[in-house]
């Protein structure tokens, strides 16, 4: 089998395509292992679809399934285009719905699924939270200092609300984010849907406009845009390597 590793804003993925749609959770656990495998935050498998360019199957590094991953969609789109599986403008099916992506060299823009507010503002553990589904559910809190990020608190909130946990700082019209991700069960260098959730929260509070630069822990710059009720997520992706494993 031939596998390709991608990095998108610090989120890394193992990607391959197959004609067989099945459960690849055990492959995800093996391939994403950082000491005995390739090492990644998630596994993406592209399989044929009769209506769209393809369908993706997404797995976290622990083998659990995830409906959506913003950075994953950008890496996946670049992989599909460079491997001749789709044109530079494509539509593909995820567990959260149909995703549209556009590839221009190493820059990929994804139109995310329509966000859904799951829980309005509430207080817990000394922070003000908000829960929104931007493909997967995200807890968001706005803080003055990202050092307020607390791993133990994030883990507790993740299990209590079954959502990813984001701490966001707004400065000079820009959004800075730290994210604890389900499936990885720890902080990741970036989370696309988490950045989208933080941008949406900041926009609703009129802390940023309808276009803003967003920076995850990796410090790579991404652009989030809101047009009506649709969110667009744009940034660079990097093909790290391709390898064959018997």
Active site residues: 69, 191
In which region does residue 67 sit, left (phi positive, over 0), alpha (psi from -120 to 50) or beta (all else)?
alpha
Nearest-Å Rg of the Cα atoms of the chain is: 17
**Residue 233 and residue 101: Cα distance in Å, rounded?**
9
Q: Which two structure tokens, joined as six digits, stand for 153? A: 């608190």
Q: Nearest CA to 165 among 135, 118, 132? A: 132
Residue 97 near residue 91 (C-beta atoms within 8 A): no
**Residue 233 and residue 110: Cα distance in Å, rounded?**
5
Look-up of token digits 């995703």: 99
Beta strand pairing call for 186-188 and 107-111:
unpaired
């Amino acid at each position: 089998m031939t596998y390709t590793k991608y990095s998108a804003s610090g989120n890394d993925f193992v990607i391959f395509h197959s004609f067989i749609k099945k459960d690849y959770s055990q492959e995800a656990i093996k391939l994403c292992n950082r000491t005995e495998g390739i090492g990644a935050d998630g596994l993406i498998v592209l399989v044929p679809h009769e209506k769209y360019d393809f369908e993706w199957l997404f797995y976290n590094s622990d083998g659990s399934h995830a409906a959506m991953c913003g950075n994953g969609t950008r890496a996946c789109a670049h992989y599909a285009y460079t491997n001749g599986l789709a044109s530079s403008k494509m539509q593909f099916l995820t567990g959260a719905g149909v995703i549209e992506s556009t590839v221009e060299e190493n820059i990929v823009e994804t139109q995310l699924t329509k966000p859904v507010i799951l829980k309005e503002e509430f207080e817990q553990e000394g922070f003000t939270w908000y829960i929104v589904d931007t493909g997967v559910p995200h807890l968001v809190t706005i803080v003055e200092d990202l050092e307020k990020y607390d791993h133990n608190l994030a883990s507790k909130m993740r299990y209590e609300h079954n959502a990813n946990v984001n701490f966001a700082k707004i400065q000079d019209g820009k959004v800075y984010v730290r994210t604890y991700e389900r499936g990885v069960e720890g902080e990741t260098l970036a989370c696309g849907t988490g950045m989208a959730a933080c941008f949406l929260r900041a926009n609703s509070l009129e802390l940023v406009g309808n276009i803003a630069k967003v920076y995850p822990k990796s410090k790579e710059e991404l652009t989030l845009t809101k047009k009506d009720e649709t969110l667009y997520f744009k940034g660079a992706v990097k093909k790290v390597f391709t390898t064959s494993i018997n």
